[in-house]
């Protein structure tokens, strides 16, 4: 492989957002462990799909998102606007559809093995939503944020499916609470990211929720959202019987996010929201 080919491949690799994709795999693995799934079974080529399929779908979504967001990315994040420059547009499209097809075929195998259509149905829904996000949903107020947050929450449901008892009252209650909380925190982070991307989104004529609200309304809404998130997280951790240090940790993270929201510091708020969401999985250990 020549140096030019290596450079193009690394640029394409960056478009998949490998660290975000890896985080998705870790999240699903932790949910599987929490639900009592024997992790040794993941050594089987088919069963590892419970972890790898969401990662493949996520990578496909990141690729097509950058394909559609070239204009605004050149304003908001010029260092990440690689499509059409170091990565050919057709390469992005072909690999997106290749990943999507592979995920659908693999999820069909899981559905057959599990005796349920849910894995295939979820992958199909995730793939469609991620494809439509940038060209259709992103510019329709809160709908884009809701769609992405439902996909993130769906990772918890996906992980719960492998255990086979994800719909039972005992296991299902805590599982769906985690999914709802994760979805809510992600909604808040998507809102913050929209504030960061106002200039580029305005240029691309995306009428995001952050754009439709005033600066004061954004600040007040995010502050209220952080307070609600803190209440939900602490209630969930208490229900699980988590240790006191976890309650203190999440209380501190919530207050930090609230402080960033109140001061209108979008960059710090986004970073701390990511830490808060990641720490949420500490309750599963």
Segment 12-21, tens digit of pLDDT: 999 899 999 9
Segment 44-69, tens digit of pLDDT: 877 899 999 999 999 999 999 888 87
pTM for the full predicted model: 0.90
Cα 260 to Cα 141: distance, rounded to the nearest angstrom:
23
Per-residue confidence of the chain (285 residues) as pLDDT tens digits? 566 678 888 889 998 999 999 999 999 999 998 888 888 888 887 789 999 999 999 999 999 988 887 777 677 776 777 787 788 889 989 999 999 999 999 999 989 888 888 899 999 999 999 999 988 888 788 899 999 999 999 999 898 887 765 555 556 788 999 999 999 999 999 999 999 888 877 776 778 888 889 999 999 999 999 999 999 999 999 998 889 999 999 999 999 999 999 999 999 999 999 999 999 987 777
What residues contact residue 148 under an 8 Å CB cut-off, 6+ apart? 129, 133, 186, 190
Which pLDDT belongs to residue 164? Answer: 67
Which pLDDT belongs to residue 101? Answer: 97
**CA–CA distances in Å: residue 65 to residues 138, 228, 236:** 10, 30, 33
Q: Is-contact 83 17, C-beta < 8 A?
A: no
Which pLDDT belongs to residue 168? Answer: 56
Which pLDDT belongs to residue 191? Answer: 95
Segment 186-206, tens digit of pLDDT: 999 999 999 988 887 777 677
DSSP-derived 3-state class of residue 87: strand
Q: Which long-range contacts (CB under 8 A, 24 or more apart) does 144-149 make?
A: 144/190, 144/208, 145/187, 145/190, 145/191, 145/194, 145/208, 145/209, 146/187, 148/186, 148/190, 149/183, 149/184, 149/186, 149/187, 149/190
Which pLDDT belongs to residue 1? Answer: 54
207 pairs with which residues across the strands?
A: 140
Residues in the chain: 285
Half-sphere exposure of 259 (CA within 13 A, CB side): 9
Which pLDDT belongs to residue 54? Answer: 96
Which pLDDT belongs to residue 2? Answer: 61
Q: Tokens 């690689």 map to which residue?
A: 82
Which pLDDT belongs to residue 63? Answer: 92
Query: What are the strands, taking DSSP E only, across the chain?
Result: 140-141, 207-208
Angle between helical axes of 266-279 and 169-196 (0-180°, round to 10): 160
Cα 197 to Cα 204: distance, rounded to the nearest angstrom:
11
């Amino acid at each position: 492989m020549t140096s030019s080919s290596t450079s193009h491949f690394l640029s394409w690799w960056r478009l998949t957002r490998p660290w975000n994709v890896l985080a998705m795999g870790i999240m699903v693995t932790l949910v599987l462990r929490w639900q009592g799934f024997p992790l040794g079974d993941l050594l089987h080529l088919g069963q590892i799909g419970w972890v790898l399929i969401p990662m493949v779908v996520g990578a496909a979504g990141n690729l097509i998102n950058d394909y559609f967001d070239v204009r605004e990315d050149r304003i908001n994040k010029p260092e990440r606007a690689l499509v059409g420059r170091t990565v050919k547009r057709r390469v992005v499209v072909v690999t997106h559809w290749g990943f999507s097809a592979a995920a659908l075929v693999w999820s069909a195998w899981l559905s057959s093995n599990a005796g349920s259509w849910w894995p295939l149905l979820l992958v199909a829904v995730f793939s469609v939503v991620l494809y439509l996000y940038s060209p259709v949903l992103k510019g329709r107020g809160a709908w884009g944020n809701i769609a992405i947050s439902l996909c993130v929450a769906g990772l918890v449901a996906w992980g719960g499916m492998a255990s086979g008892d994800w719909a039972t009252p005992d296991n299902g209650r805590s599982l769906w609470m985690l999914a709802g909380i994760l979805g809510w925190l992600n909604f808040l982070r998507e809102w913050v990211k929209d504030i960061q991307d106002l200039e580029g989104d305005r240029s691309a004529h995306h009428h995001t929720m952050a754009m439709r609200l005033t600066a004061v309304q954004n600040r007040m809404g995010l502050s209220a959202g952080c307070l609600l998130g803190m209440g939900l997280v602490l209630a969930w951790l208490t229900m699980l019987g988590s240790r006191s240090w976890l309650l203190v940790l999440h209380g501190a993270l919530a207050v930090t996010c609230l402080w960033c929201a109140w001061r209108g510091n979008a960059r710090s708020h986004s970073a701390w929201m990511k830490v808060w969401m990641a720490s949420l999985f500490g309750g599963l250990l």
